[in-house]
Structure 1
């Protein structure tokens, strides 16, 4: 299957991953680590930090070994802070990603993109979303999401999580229909129902012809798709049923 390119240059993805990883570590350092995370019921900021730091190490080993590792560090070393745990894992992952061309083959869970570039993109958005989680849990001002990263994150949420992960899990919608998503100069269609779950980039005209049309600034749609912004934080034109179904299905795909 051909390589599925994102909306952002791979070099930009790698640089942004480093920047966002440092922002996340700084947010954790400044936060009350026992604070609950609204978007992740049952998790505290400490759990988010352990999850991301562990994931950095797991993906680094997966890339090096060409398969899912059986074991990897999941907790800070004795005396190591959560922010230092994050920074050390990030450094290992950045070194591994930078040592390979983004088009080099790698073990991934998306058949359309079996490359190192997949993990540049995937780990960037993992980091951004959990940085937002820490900010929301701490009641801190958000550092915001750059527009190009938010647009790429919308594309990833729709084409990867909605269009790929839901079918992998065998999950479908209950009512057939389509949602047009419009942000900046980009548009997408997400179609769901008992027999189909798919999403693709499209023209503005095609998006406008969908059953429901979702519009807002890119950062807001990005966070809405990931459940980090409320159902009412975007503008929906139509009967709203399909937009609500899209949002609910993504909660299942990304949990």
Structure 2
């Protein structure tokens, strides 16, 4: 487990990354490359595939070199299909991640977790979300999101993207308040306003005392937080202002 102690064991994260990556590559192979991606306006299925394949390569280089590389392969080689581009990049990244203990130090953009484990988690969720994108673009039946991975993804969206990336970008909310997020046996608080942007795990009682409370099954909240599900896919109790602000701030953090 990484220092930040995500909700899923590091071995499970690595296995799931391999599975989701292969499913993504197969889905890309079976759909039109110019199909528009509903959750990513202006992007086609092919552009999503190139984006993920490029990320596999830049992260592997970052791990090997200990810093962000200035240049890396962003597109398939001549004659290489998008599926092959994804599968080759995935295989090289999996080999690099598997060769190092999750607690081993690595270059990351989260001070709380400078480890190889950070990248197991981050690249799993990157792959899983874009697998959903490709399914939506292709009009395919969704495979769904396993509950344990969805809960871990909720935790990552709130603690990493809301609580860390927004402050890194200097972005804050306009109205101070809090959102309780409850799903399964887990609860979180996300607090935003002109002065602060932070999120943490909490008790169910603490979450219930927030200004707005968001509840739903883990996969629904996970996809909602990432803009892959409609606003009506979760239940919001309260005045809704804070839940709407949370959703809007995450769109800025994750674009």
With the length of structure 1 as denominator, give the TM-score of the two structures: 0.99
The equivalent residue for 1:123 is 123
Is 2:111 the partner of 1:111? Answer: yes
Q: Mind listing any 5+ residue stretches in structure 1 that lack a counterpart? A: none
- Offset of residue 143 of structure 1: 0.9
The equivalent residue for 1:33 is 33
**d(CA) in 1 for partners of 2:83, 2:217:** 31
- Offset of residue 3 of structure 1: 2.2
**d(CA) in 2 for partners of 1:57, 1:44:** 20
SS in 2 for 1:3: coil
**d(CA) in 2 for partners of 1:182, 1:19:** 28
**d(CA) in 2 for partners of 1:23, 1:188:** 30
The equivalent residue for 1:11 is 11
**d(CA) in 2 for partners of 1:204, 1:23:** 35
**d(CA) in 1 for partners of 2:139, 2:51:** 20
- Offset of residue 152 of structure 1: 0.1
- Offset of residue 111 of structure 1: 0.2
CA-based RMSD of the aligned residues comes to 0.7
1:47-92, Cα deviation, whole Å (9 max, x unpaired): 0000000000000000000000011101111111101100000000
Query: How many residues are paired up?
Result: 254
- Offset of residue 39 of structure 1: 1.0
The equivalent residue for 1:24 is 24
**d(CA) in 1 for partners of 2:26, 2:207:** 39
The equivalent residue for 2:188 is 188
The equivalent residue for 1:236 is 236
The equivalent residue for 1:46 is 46
- Offset of residue 136 of structure 1: 0.6
1:189-241, Cα deviation, whole Å (9 max, x unpaired): 00000001000000000000000000000000000000000111100000000
**d(CA) in 2 for partners of 1:122, 1:157:** 10
Runs of 4+ in 1 over 4 A off after TM superposition: none
The equivalent residue for 1:225 is 225
SS in 1 for 2:224: helix
The equivalent residue for 1:202 is 202
Q: Mind listing any 5+ residue stretches in structure 2 that lack a counterpart? A: none
The equivalent residue for 1:140 is 140
**d(CA) in 1 for partners of 2:93, 2:115:** 15
SS in 2 for 1:179: strand
Is 2:95 the partner of 1:91? Answer: no
Is 2:72 the partner of 1:75? Answer: no
**d(CA) in 2 for partners of 1:41, 1:243:** 22
**d(CA) in 2 for partners of 1:60, 1:132:** 23
The equivalent residue for 2:254 is 254
**d(CA) in 1 for partners of 2:33, 2:216:** 32
1:75-116, Cα deviation, whole Å (9 max, x unpaired): 111111101100000000000000000000000000000000
